[in-house]
Amino acid sequence: MRIYLIGFMGSGKSHWGRLLSASMKVPFYDLDDVITQHENKTIPEIFSEKGEEYFRMLEKELLTTLTEANGNMVISCGGGTPCFFGNIDFMKDNGKVIWLNTSTPVLLQRLMKEKNHRPLLRDIPDYEMKAFIVKKLHDRKLYYEQAHLVLPEETLSLEQIKSAIEHE
């Protein structure tokens, strides 16, 4: 089974993805890590040197490649992955999509700590971060809501994720 974890940046996709893949004994891929290894550049460098459109096209290509190469896997997608090039439909057609739905206050707290490592956040003044998160969540919600499962991330356990997958 292929499991695609989606959600806003800072929602715990990589954390839960590693735990879930270890529990299921299947490979884990962090799509952002796959992209950086492929390009031998950080995501901020890719955005800066080649632009968001290039990044999104590469993201789609590598998502497709990973899916075609793995019958069973857990993949944590970038926050914007479901929103471009029909990726949400592709993921739904090829596995189970889980939205790790994290509240705005928790996202704000987490993202303020790692703001300088996130290309979309780096230049946003601290006082505008909450408004940015609210707007981006609003823009992406249409895609996130299409997931097979929507799980509240802050109160989640590995057992709850596995149970939800089994009963979906």
38/157 Cα distance (integer angstroms): 32
Q: How far is CA 83 from each of CA 35, 86, 98, 116, rounded to the nearest angstrom?
A: 17, 7, 14, 23
What average pLDDT does the segment 3-24 reach? Answer: 97
- The per-residue pLDDT for 148 is 97
32 is in an annotated binding site: yes
Residue 127 has pLDDT above 90, yes or no: yes
Q: Is the separation of the CB atoms in 146 and 82 below 8 Å? A: yes
What's the mean pLDDT in 23-41?
97
Cα 31 to Cα 61, 166, 168: the distances in Å are: 11, 24, 24
Q: Which pLDDT value is given to residue 43? A: 87
- All structural domains of the chain, each given as residue ranges with its CATH number in brackets, are 2-154 (3.40.50.300)
* Residue of 97, 84, 88 lying closest to 13 (CA atoms): 97
* pLDDT given at position 116: 80
**13 a known binding residue?**
yes
Task: Tell whether 10 is in a known binding site.
Answer: yes
The tens digit of pLDDT for each residue in 102-124 reads 999 999 999 999 888 777 788 89
Flag whether pLDDT at 17 surpasses 80: yes
Question: Is there a binding annotation on residue 15?
Answer: yes
What pLDDT is recorded for position 48?
A: 87
Is 56 labeled as ligand-binding?
yes
Give the pLDDT band (50/70/90) at residue 83.
very high
Structure confidence by residue, pLDDT tens digits, 35-55: 999 999 998 889 889 999 999
